[in-house]
């Protein structure tokens, strides 16, 4: 397999795909030959600025071709690259750079020296920040070659080929978008369509009619919104893929009604892409991708463990690497689930289980029930202390003010849940707090006064 993105681009040119479009942003389109030329030029510039093998470098990724070129050039120089999110706050970004031990930073303004060069050279690496749904984001680093291999495996599993145009809705600074999106698309010789930001269904439909994407890569919130807004019946869709959070049945209804397959997908910051399910919305996130090994519970939910050849992730803390694999190479994902003939079914996060008098309550189970109740658009369930310090189940519900009735929702929930699992408090919110990729920021809901 090609070792760098420069190798990947050159391989497509040599195979006669050089004039095919590779990337499209809001301003322009570049072919594989043009992208290779821009990356080669940027490699020379970054080498002159001090980027080399193992240089710890932070790259801010935006919804622009230029930032993809920066990323491709830095990784092609065998640097250790930390992908940074454009929308991250300054304090959060600075903390991530410090944990990574970054020597250089690259953004739209150019290359900035952050600290003196470290003696010797390190290994090529790919690093991301976790989503930060339950607290401060963590910096996770792993081998570059294994990461590129994992993304190519995902592309093959999803069936992406050179004729596909892939619309990625998540910001490129998120690992899902750059790995399952950019790296997977380029490895397959396909074309990635990068919108300038969040799109309403009307704007999305116009973009779709103009560029005719065949694959939609998104998150449940956007799939549901666009599906109800008519995007499913625009353009030339072949399939969709959803990741980031549990995929509710209602989020795929409009797409299935238009005879468009919706794949559910499970991945994480530690290892990348892990599973695919071609019939999303049914509860399972599917079977492991080729090369991926999984462990989870059998009859009862248990910790989900995963491994992938060539990947031994570490957590970076103040420039030091903390291994995340056990002696046999397994990584604890932090999720709970059941693995059987239907694939992997996730039941929640182990660190978010709510202990009510010794009973373990899964927020995911309660949320699945609440989402089926009339008037509930979406919800999030967390554990919070009650007046006497005892743990309680709290539900935050997106619902209209006029039809919201907390007491009625509790009565309806009690028809489906054990008493200990029924939320003690149900609070209406206009919008749940979310990350840039659409994940619910549960840590903010747990905080006192939220």
My answer on whether 300 and 399 are in the same domain is no
pLDDT-derived band of residue 197, with 50, 70 and 90 as boundaries?
A: confident
305/385 same-domain check: no
Mean pLDDT over 392-411 rounds to 92
DSSP-assigned letter for residue 137: P
Answer yes or no: do 154 and 88 share one domain: yes
Is the domain of 325 the same as that of 384?
no
Q: Are residues 265 and 409 in the same domain?
A: no
Residues 199 and 276 in one domain: yes
CA distances (Å), 439 to each of 57, 131, 214, 221, 246, in order?
26, 8, 25, 9, 10
Together in a domain, 307 and 360: no
What DSSP state is assigned to residue 117?
A: P
Residue whose C-alpha is closest to residue 54's, from 70, 75, 78, 71: 78
Cα–Cα distance, 131 to 244 (Å, whole number): 9
| pLDDT reading at 133 higher than 70 | no
Residue 176, domain CATH: 3.40.50.12780
- How far apart CA 340 and CA 175 sit, in angstroms, is 28
Dist CA 165 CA 368 (whole Å): 33
DSSP 5: H
The whole domain housing 378 covers 353-446
Q: What is the pLDDT of residues 296-339, one digit of tens each?
A: 998 888 899 999 999 999 999 988 999 999 999 999 998 888 99
Residue 266 has pLDDT above 90, yes or no: yes
Span 392-406, average pLDDT: 91
Let me know whether 233 and 381 are in one domain. no
Total domains present in the chain: 2
Enter the pTM of the model.
0.83
Q: What are phi and psi of 158, to 5 degrees?
A: -85, -15
Q: Does residue 283 have a pLDDT over 80?
A: no
Domain boundary among 348, 380, 395: 348
Is residue 163 within 8 Å of 243, Cβ to Cβ? no
Q: Which has more pLDDT, 358 or 376?
A: 376
pLDDT classification of 121: cutoffs 50, 70, 90: low
* pLDDT confidence of residue 83: 96
* DSSP structure class, residue 419: G
Q: Which residue has the tokens 């089926």?
A: 372
pLDDT of res. 1: 45
- Residue range 112-117: mean pLDDT, rounded: 92
Residue finishing a domain among 348, 364, 387? 348
Residue 119 and residue 144 in one domain: yes
Confidence at 134, pLDDT banded by 50, 70, 90: very low
């Amino acid at each position: 397999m090609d070792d760098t993105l420069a190798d990947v681009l050159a391989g497509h040119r040599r195979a006669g795909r050089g004039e095919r479009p590779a990337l499209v942003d809001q301003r322009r389109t570049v072919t594989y030959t043009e992208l290779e030329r821009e990356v080669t030029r940027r490699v020379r510039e970054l080498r002159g600025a001090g980027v080399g093998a193992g240089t710890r470098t932070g790259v801010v990724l935006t919804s622009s071709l230029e930032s993809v070129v920066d990323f491709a050039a830095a990784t092609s120089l065998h640097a250790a690259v930390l992908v940074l999110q454009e929308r991250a706050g300054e304090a959060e970004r600075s903390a991530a750079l410090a944990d990574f031990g970054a020597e250089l930073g690259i953004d739209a303004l150019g290359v900035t020296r952050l600290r003196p060069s470290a003696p010797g050279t390190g290994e090529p690496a790919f690093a991301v920040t976790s989503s930060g749904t339950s607290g401060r984001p963590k910096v996770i680093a792993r081998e570059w070659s294994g990461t590129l291999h994992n993304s190519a495996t995902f592309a093959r599993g999803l069936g992406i080929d050179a004729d596909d145009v892939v619309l990625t809705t998540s910001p490129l600074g998120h690992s899902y978008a750059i790995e399952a999106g950019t790296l997977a698309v380029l490895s397959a010789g396909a074309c990635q369509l990068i919108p300038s930001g969040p799109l309403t269904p009307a704007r999305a439909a116009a973009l779709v009619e103009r560029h005719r994407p065949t694959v939609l890569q998104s998150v449940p919130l956007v799939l549901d919104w666009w599906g109800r807004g008519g995007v499913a019946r625009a353009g030339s869709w072949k399939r969709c893929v959803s990741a980031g959070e549990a995929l509710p049945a209602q989020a795929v209804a409009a797409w299935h009604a238009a005879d468009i397959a919706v794949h559910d997908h499970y991945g994480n910051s530690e290892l990348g892409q892990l599973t695919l399910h071609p019939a999303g919305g049914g509860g399972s996130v599917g079977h492991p991708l080729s090369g991926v090994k999984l462990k989870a519970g059998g009859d009862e939910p248990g910790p989900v463990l995963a491994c992938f050849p060539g990947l031994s992730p570490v957590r970076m803390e103040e420039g030091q690497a903390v291994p995340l694999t056990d002696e046999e190479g397994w990584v604890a994902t932090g999720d709970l689930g059941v693995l059987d003939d239907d694939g992997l079914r996730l039941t929640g996060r182990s660190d978010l289980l709510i202990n009510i008098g010794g009973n373990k309550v899964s927020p995911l189970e309660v949320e699945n029930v609440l989402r089926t109740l009339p008037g509930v658009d979406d919800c999030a369930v967390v554990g919070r202390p009650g007046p006497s310090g005892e743990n309680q189940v709290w539900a935050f519900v997106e619902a209209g003010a006029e039809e919201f009735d907390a007491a009625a929702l509790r009565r309806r929930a009690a028809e489906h849940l054990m008493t200990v699992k029924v939320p003690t408090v149900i609070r209406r919110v206009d919008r749940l707090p979310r990350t840039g990729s659409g994940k619910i920021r549960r840590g903010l809901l747990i905080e006192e006064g939220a």
